Amino acid sequence: MNVVIDGLQYANWSEKVFREMRAGGVDAVHVTISYHENFRETVLNFEAWNRWFERFPELIFQGFTGDDVRRAKETGRTAIFFGFQNPSPIEDDIGLVEILHRLGARFMQLSYNNQSLLATGCYEAEDPGITRMGRQVIKEMNRVGLVVDMSHSADRSTIEAADISTRPITITHANLHSWQPALRNKRDDVIRAVTQNGGMMGFSLYPHHLKDKSDCTVDSFSEMIARAAETFGVAHFGIGSDLCQDQPDSIVEWMRTGRWTKEIDYGEGSASAPGFPPQPVWFRDNRDFGNIREGLARTGFDATEVDALMGGNWLRFFDENFTPADAPPDH
């Protein structure tokens, strides 16, 4: 099935954005519903989404398994899958892993930019790897079908997570460090650890992760994907746009600082450019996924490979990893 799946977005959600998803033919999106929120605050975010599902049932619905992507495709809607960019929703309680999966969470990062109770973030000076609690939480995530996401984690922690996990893990939104040496982009040894264990990586359209940033061309982006596919295998990659459409700059401040600091943290920005950078002209919103498809085709991918990169690989990953370990795959 030819599907379009985005491995990560954090837009300022509205009917406009939902309609643009439909205009762009986007069948499924992994949506961040927690950055630094605790369990109760995260439940309030589930509630907010339930109201959107109730208001716009002809546009969106909550996804739980890969079959929901197929249902979205067949009914002309977008399936919304939930994830966390930080383990803060489980607080210090491993029992909340299963509770959150039952509510519909399907991805959880083991750390954001800082050290967490589970793993180290990419902005820390030292990376001691996965913690004792982290090992237990990975085991529990594997059991219930909550995918380990290491998008913001440091190198050693990511490699250890890939090795400790008995199920494939993911980097939902990042690019090759060799193409654009941002702290958040991934070195080859990290990508190798994730992909050789069956994992997936989604390529990011966030300008700080792009070569030439907001001026990056679709052909440069596509050539980077081609290099990754040639090195690690096309089956392990998809798109994870990190689209933060219509968000005010106060949101990027929340992402970077949460409640852990009183000082301003600019992350990959700077004092002169503290807010969200402008998107490349060829990927402004969900209506522009066709430009990526065309860029991939120009770069030399055949039609089957383009379909895999645009969503087919994510769909296979959803099928295999969203259900409990002792349950048969959903499709």
Lowest mean pLDDT across 77-86, 96-105, 163-172, 259-268: 259-268
Domains of the chain and CATH, by start? 5-322 (3.20.20.140)
Which tens digit of pLDDT belongs to each residue from 21-30? Answer: 999 999 999 9
- 327 pLDDT higher than 70: yes
- 121 pLDDT higher than 90: yes
pTM reported for the whole predicted model = 0.95
Which tens digit of pLDDT belongs to each residue from 223-232? Answer: 999 999 999 9
**316: how many CB neighbours lie within 10 A of its CB?**
17
Q: Judging by beta carbons within 10 Å of its beta carbon (0-12, 13-18, 19+), is residue 56 exposed, middle or buried? A: middle
% of the chain at pLDDT higher than 70? 98
8 A C-beta contact, residue 16 and residue 60: no
Which tens digit of pLDDT belongs to each residue from 124-161? Answer: 999 999 999 999 999 999 999 999 999 999 999 999 99
Q: H or E element: which one contains 320?
A: helix 313-321
Ordered DSSP codes for 194-259? HHHTT-EEEEP--GGGSTTGGG--HHHHHHHHHHHHHHH-GGGEEE---B-TT--HHHHHHHHHTT
Q: What's the rounded Cα separation, in Å, for the pair 80 and 88?
A: 21
Per-residue pLDDT averaged across 299-308, rounded? 98
Residues 6+ apart with CB under 8 A from 193: 158, 159, 162, 163
Provide the pLDDT for residue 331. 64
Q: Which of 78, 202, 210, 80 is nearest to 149 (CA)?
A: 202
Provide the pLDDT for residue 114. 92
Tell me the three state secondary structure of residue 273. Answer: strand
Token pair listed for 154: 């440091």
Lowest mean pLDDT across 96-110, 236-250, 297-311: 236-250
